[in-house]
Structure 1
Amino acid sequence: MLYFARPSLAAELADQLEGRAVFGDAQNGLFLAAPRRTGKSMFLQHDLKPELASRNVLVIYTDLWSDQRRDPGDLIAEAIARELQQHLGVVAKTARKAGLASVTIAGTLKVDTSGIGKIDGTTLVQALRTLHETAGRPIALIIDEAQHALTSEAGETAMAALKSARDQLNTPAEVALMLVMSGSDRDKLLRLVNTNGAPFYGSSIHKMPTLGKGYVDHVTALIEAQRPELKPVDHLTLLEAFQLFGQRPQFFHAAIGQALNPLESTSGEGFEQGVLAAAKEKRAQDAAQMRSDYLGLKPLEQAVLWRILAVGQNFRPYDADALAFYRQQCAGLSITAQKVQAALESLRARTPALIWKSARGEYSADDAAMHAWFGELQATGQWPPAAEPEIR
């Protein structure tokens, strides 16, 4: 499938980042939340980045999930350092090769050439200031999966440094540093903005618009152009399937390809129902997997995960209410803080991990889809899930 561009959304967000919106705080940082595999990263790289570049903005993009073995703080610093190295000029590059400790740029800015790329709040701020001065234009730093920065002290330090750089570089008359933070889990991303100690306290999390009817109409037009014998394609059925797939193009594309495969008996006429059936099957499989994961846990692990899903960002693993909840769900078991800690570590150690932990000891479900699964079962009175009776 050809890429579905969203230029209008990109232009609107770029206006906000430049401070052109009458109301809003995007010039202080734009925080976007969208589920995994819904086109967020593609939009940031192929729509927003080119739009900002067309406005003479220097754009730096880094994905903190690109290498999960690396410290997220290092990934942020290195992305900035790579861009800075390209703008330092011949004199600075020569100085670095010669092993000079520092170099003065434009007669005023003294840069520690050995420090660029290392995690230090002052160094990161200075690197951004120098980059702004040498490039002579605004900078936009796009950090994809930004919530991952909270998993390390270096990542948190980098976030604090970016906030400091924003405050120092931006003025009421000029937005010199634009920050875009995206995340696949709103609950985790909130931890960057919702407490007094959060680096971007006071900023808002925005739900990024997911691909919808316009995208399905685009796909429908492509199918009709390539397979005119299928006209008219039932776009309403395809829209229903796309929604059941959680607005995730990857699975939607695969189902369409399968349904239209000439080797499949369901290809051709009525393929839309095949796509819809695949969507329903995928949804059922996902729910069954989460159910199996939950039922495979020990009683205390189940109680801890239940508590995390129920209270979200208000989860406190060892407070009186939490301990009372665990004891209620695990009647007859002795519950201590040490046993709760062991349960938390066990949930984190699973493959894939069921819970996520920040450097500050905050916990959340690792996969945001589990929150939706929990909410659906709770709303229909089917929580907690029970084991299937054995067939004899």
Structure 2
Amino acid sequence: MPHSTELFQRSAYAADMAQQLLRPSALQLNLRSGVFLSGIRRVGKTTFLRQDLVPALEALGALVIYVDLWSDRSKNPSALVLEAVRQTLVELQSPGSGLLQRLKGLSLGAVGLSFSFQVDGLGSPGGATLAQAVVELVELAKVDVVLMVDEVQHATFSDDGIHLLHAIKAARDAVNPRPDMPGHFIFLGTGSHKSLVTEMASRRTQPFSGAVAADYQVLGEDFVSWQLERIRASTPGARLPSLACASRGFHSLGHRPEELLKALVQLQNTSMAPDPAFELICQTLASTVADVELRQLDELGPLARLLFDRIAAAPERGATGLFRTQALADYSGAMHARVDAPQVQGTVDKLVSAHLIMRAGHGLYQIADPFLRQVWREHKALSSHKAAP
């Protein structure tokens, strides 16, 4: 997969992650149990996976199968994954295919692989299981196989998805513990719903309980510098903020590349000095983005806003005691109606499903997107200041 000069390359981050996944140190062997990478929406995760991480894994000799569970919502998760696996196996069976040519340096030859099962029947009643297919793939291709499932949390929303996760776990267990295997099977699940993705690795009821949960590393000042230089080179005379100001603005926009570019475009239509103008633009955009995200609170009702406010006001590690007697009394007083624990639990569950809050531990809740927490707190501070005599 070639790099594009139109996209920012995160080669070092990708190379480090690929090294850990495929050639882990003794302290990193738990990565072979599975890795769940989470990050908020619109911060460049999918771009990183496809543009940077897949090539980095392939450069180390791995065979990567990438699936996006959001690519076709009319299909269930297992259908999407099995379809991607079948396509890979068909390519490896086909002499002269691009995938076979890429792996030819690994002594596969040009005639294609021959599997003991019907590829078309993979996953169907009477056909080969995913575990059987992965075992043969590793044995014949003699490579590490990486299954990368983007927006993996959607697998938790249906029985089909849960069955898929069990099938992937069975494939992992069929390959990785065997000392005679010429490669390993690595599962990487990524998603934008941090709470659900984290729970997939931490909850005992989940198939991948005990796997590794990690946070996606958001873009930083090096990306901001690249974007500024790109504009400067293509548009001589463009109005641009200083790198320090642009980096602060990018942070205030939740590290979202699209919003940074939008702010830089708006800067071209101002007559103010670039830095103060850019700061003002970012503040306005951040508020607008937050308003769109938080509109769901209005739909969920006043109790949702009270709970969100309580969690946002708590220390960064999160809020506890949402169901205590005093908390229930506070909600009841604010709403002028009795609020009980089941009501709170129901609303908390809705807030989690809406990606607004996340469970960070037993009885511990955090705002899912730190950007929203920051904007909410700024709005509260401004309201308090205006209300002061």
Determine whether 1:252 maps to 2:251: no
Question: Are 2:74 and 1:74 aligned?
Answer: no
Deviations 1:286-322 (A, max 9, x none): 3444555434544455567679988xxx99xxxx947
1:86 partner SS:
helix
Question: Offset at 1:178?
Answer: 1.4
Q: Which residue type is aligned with residue 373 of structure 1? A: L
Q: Which amino acid is 1:210 matched to?
A: V
User: Which of 232, 255, 272 does residue 224 from structure 1 map onto?
Assistant: 232
CA distance in structure 1 between the aligned counterparts of 2:113 and 2:248, rounded to whole angstroms = 59
Unpaired runs of 5+ residues, structure 2, are 96-111, 359-364
TM-score by length of 2: 0.73
8 Å contact 2:203–2:209 — kept in the other structure?
Answer: yes
Give the 3-state SS of the residue equivalent to 2:41 in structure 1.
coil
Secondary structure, aligned partner of 1:43: helix
Change in Cα spacing, 1:221 to 1:119, as seen in structure 2 (3 Å) is farther
Of residues 215, 219, 243 in structure 2, which corresponds to 1:211? 219
TM-score, with structure 1 as normaliser = 0.73
Q: Residue 153 of structure 2 corresponds to which residue in structure 1?
A: 147
Alignment length (residue pairs):
356
For 2:289, what is the secondary structure of its paired residue? helix
Give the aligned partner of residue 329 of structure 1: 331
Q: Secondary structure at the match of 2:27?
A: coil
Partner of 1:3: 7
Return the alpha-carbon distance in structure 2 between the equivalents of residues 240 and 375 of structure 1: 13
Task: Output the amino acid matched with 2:368.
Answer: A
Identity of aligned residues (%): 26
- 1:211 Cα deviation (Å)? 0.8
Render the CA deviation track for 1:171-228: whole Å, top value 9, x for unaligned: 4575421111112132111121112222121222111211101111112222332344
Q: 1:242 aligns with which of 241, 250, 253?
A: 250
Q: CA deviation at 1:148?
A: 1.5
Question: Separation in 2 of the partners of 1:143 and 1:300?
Answer: 35
Secondary structure in 2 matching 1:193: helix
1:242-288: CA deviation from partner (whole Å, max 9, x where unpaired): 1111111111112222323xxx344xx84454433222112112344
Aligned with 2:53 (options 48, 53, 71): 48
Alignment partner of 2:122 out of 116, 122, 141: 116
| Distance in 2 between residues matched to 1:265 and 1:89, nearest whole Å | 58
Residues in 1 aligned to 2:281 and 2:239: alpha-carbon distance in whole angstroms: 21
Residue 215 to residue 375, structure 1, CA distance change in 2 (3 Å): closer
Structure-to-structure mapping, 1:229-308, within 5 angstroms: 229=237, 234-260=242-268, 264-266=269-271, 270-289=273-292, 293-295=296-298, 297-300=300-303, 302=305
Distance change in 2, residues 1:34/1:123 (3 Å): same
Is the alpha carbon distance of 1:272 and 1:141 closer, same or farther for their aligned partners in structure 2, counting shifts above 3 Å? farther
Structure 1 gaps, min length 5: 91-104, 358-363
Pairing 1:198–2:197 present: no
1:374, distance to aligned residue in structure 2 (A): 4.8
Q: Shift in Å at residue 330 of structure 1?
A: 3.3
Query: Residues 239 and 198 from structure 1, CA distance in 2 versus in 1: closer, same or farther, beyond 3 angstroms?
Result: same
Inter-partner Cα distance in structure 2 for 1:143 and 1:9: 19
- Three-state SS of the structure 2 residue aligned to 1:111 is coil
SS of match in other structure, 1:32 = strand
